């Protein structure tokens, strides 16, 4: 120990200068509920910690790292003796530090209790929302079904809204790819339906739906709309389901006048309850009779479309199995247009044409014809007739309309590589179409 006294760099520890609270202390009990330890990140630093919380109440430095082999307590003892503090002084200091630790401990408990009892303010800071929210939507089905989002699918009666819904529900159950894109993971649904059992069972069998829970409207007939929603959400949460499907929203919610805002409020209630539990919602709605723009075809007030996150409108294409789907939503990924065709056996949909940029006021049939030709690359009148579900004369007339508009070309047998027995129609690239019509 004489070597320590001869070292001019030694100095007494400062017991009070570095008071702080942390959680990185561990060591030897010095007095009562206090423990003495070397700092984890620096062996020349010492800390006295409250044994109840492992939090330091004060600390100091051992000046010369070269003498740490003597042990932390030995170095501290030498410094105390050298500067006349003595062991008694250390005991007195520890007692005072222990008193301060106890007071601070009570103060900490008081602050924590106040924080617990203080009413939480609703909402969150914008930067927290930005940091916590994922950069991309967690799609179950791309551009169509996502946790916490509500999709409204609308069409005239018996056009195929329920069939499309069961196709998606069945694909989700098995985690199979859909005509909208791949499903991200297997997921099941709870279904509230107005359909009779016979037609419901037919759809379930066609699309292999086995795990969904089906609830008939009459089973909840005595409940209010809020109670119905509560029951559906409870089923979904209890059984770990991802999607709530309501067919038909007007009837299920008991809406008598769709022209006002009553239906929109009902949709918003379903939306809020599902969003709170990260459930996707799918609602079935009817188009009104008459003509108009695609986005204004749903019956009732435009507030209905405003209430939903994604609005998909379905239109019949001729008398065949082809349907035109147009989607408008809150994100770019939810704004798209497709022609889809139900397979002959009625068990799957396939995309006939997909996402071609067009002028917003273009005739719907003309747009659909362009999409068909663009998707197929080339086709004959007979092939177009089968896809569009129209007569041969109508098919020829509509293809010729595309040629006249500079949006398609026609090669007769023996021309432009056409070795077949019928004329072949091919699309004109979008850029070429624009250069011919936009200048």
Which tokens go with 202? 């037919």
Domain match, 113 and 170 both = no
- Among 80, 94, 101, which Cα is nearest to 28's? 94
The listed range with the strongest mean pLDDT (16-25, 226-235, 325-334) is 226-235
Final residue belonging to a domain, choices 321, 353, 385: 353
Backbone angles phi, psi at 333, to 5 degrees: -65, -15
Domain match, 50 and 62 both = yes
Domain match, 342 and 222 both = yes
Residue 390 carries which DSSP code? -
**CATH, residue 263:** 3.40.50.300
Predicted model pTM: 0.57
Q: pLDDT of 223-273, one tens digit each?
A: 999 999 999 999 999 999 999 999 989 999 998 877 778 888 899 999 999
- Among 35, 22, 47, 28, which Cα is nearest to 104's? 22
What pLDDT shows up at residue 161? 92
> What's the number of domains the chain is made of?
3
Taking residues 193-207, what's their average pLDDT? 94
- Among 58, 10, 11, which Cα is nearest to 31's? 58
Q: CA-to-CA distance for 399 and 394, rounded, in angstroms?
A: 9
Domain match, 108 and 26 both = yes
What percentage of the chain exceeds 70 in pLDDT?
A: 67
SS3 79: helix
- Is 44 within the bounds of a domain? yes
- Is 126 within the bounds of a domain? no
Which residues, in sequence order, are CB contacts of 28 under 8 Å at separation 6+? 35, 36, 37, 73
Full residue range of the structural domain in which residue 211 is found: 137-353
Indicate the angle between helix axes 392-404 and 364-376, nearest 10 degrees: 90
Is the Cβ–Cβ distance between 380 and 401 less than 8 Å? no
In this prediction, residue 80 has a pLDDT band, given cuts at 50, 70 and 90, of very low
Domain match, 102 and 151 both = no
């Amino acid at each position: 120990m004489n070597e320590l006294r001869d070292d001019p760099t030694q100095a007494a520890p400062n017991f009070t200068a570095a008071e702080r609270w942390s959680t990185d202390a561990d060591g030897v009990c010095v007095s009562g509920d206090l423990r003495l330890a070397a700092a984890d990140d620096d062996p020349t630093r010492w800390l006295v910690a409250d044994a109840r919380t492992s939090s330091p109440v004060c600390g100091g430095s051992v000046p010369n790292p070269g003498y740490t082999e003597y042990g932390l307590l030995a170095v501290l003892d030498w410094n105390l003796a050298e500067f006349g503090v003595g062991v008694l002084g250390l005991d007195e200091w520890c007692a005072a530090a222990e008193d301060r630790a106890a007071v601070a401990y009570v103060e900490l408990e008081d602050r924590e209790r106040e924080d617990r009892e203080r009413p939480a303010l609703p909402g969150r800071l914008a930067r927290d929302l930005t940091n916590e929210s994922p950069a991309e939507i967690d799609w179950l089905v791309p551009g169509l079904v996502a946790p916490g989002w509500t999709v409204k699918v609308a069409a005239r009666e018996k056009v195929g809204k329920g069939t499309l819904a069961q196709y998606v529900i069945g694909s989700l159950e098995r985690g199979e790819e859909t005509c909208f894109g791949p499903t991200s993971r297997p997921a099941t649904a709870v279904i509230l339906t107005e359909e009779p059992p016979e037609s419901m069972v037919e759809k379930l069998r066609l699309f292999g739906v086995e795990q969904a829970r089906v609830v008939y409207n009459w089973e909840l007939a005595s409940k209010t709309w809020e109670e119905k929603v509560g029951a559906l959400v409870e089923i979904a949460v209890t059984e770990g389901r991802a999607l709530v499907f309501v067919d038909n929203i007007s009837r299920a919610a008991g809406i008598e006048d769709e022209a006002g805002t009553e239906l929109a409020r009902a949709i918003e209630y379903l939306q809020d309850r599902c969003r709170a539990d990260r459930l996707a919602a799918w609602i079935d709605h009817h188009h009104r009779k008459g003509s108009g723009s695609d986005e204004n075809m749903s019956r009732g007030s435009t507030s209905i479309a405003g209430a939903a996150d994604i609005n998909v409108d379905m239109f019949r294409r001729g008398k065949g199995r082809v349907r035109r789907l147009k989607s408008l939503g809150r994100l770019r990924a939810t704004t798209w247009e497709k022609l889809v065709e139900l397979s002959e056996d009625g068990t799957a949909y396939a995309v006939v044409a997909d996402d071609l940029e067009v002028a917003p006021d273009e005739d719907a049939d003309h747009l659909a014809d362009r999409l068909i030709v663009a998707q197929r690359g080339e086709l004959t009148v007979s092939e177009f007739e089968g896809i569009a579900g129209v007569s041969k004369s109508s098919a020829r007339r509509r293809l010729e309309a595309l040629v006249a508009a500079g949006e398609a070309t026609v090669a007769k047998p023996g021309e432009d590589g056409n070795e077949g027995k019928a004329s072949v129609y091919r699309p004109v690239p979008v850029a070429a179409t624009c250069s011919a019509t936009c200048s």
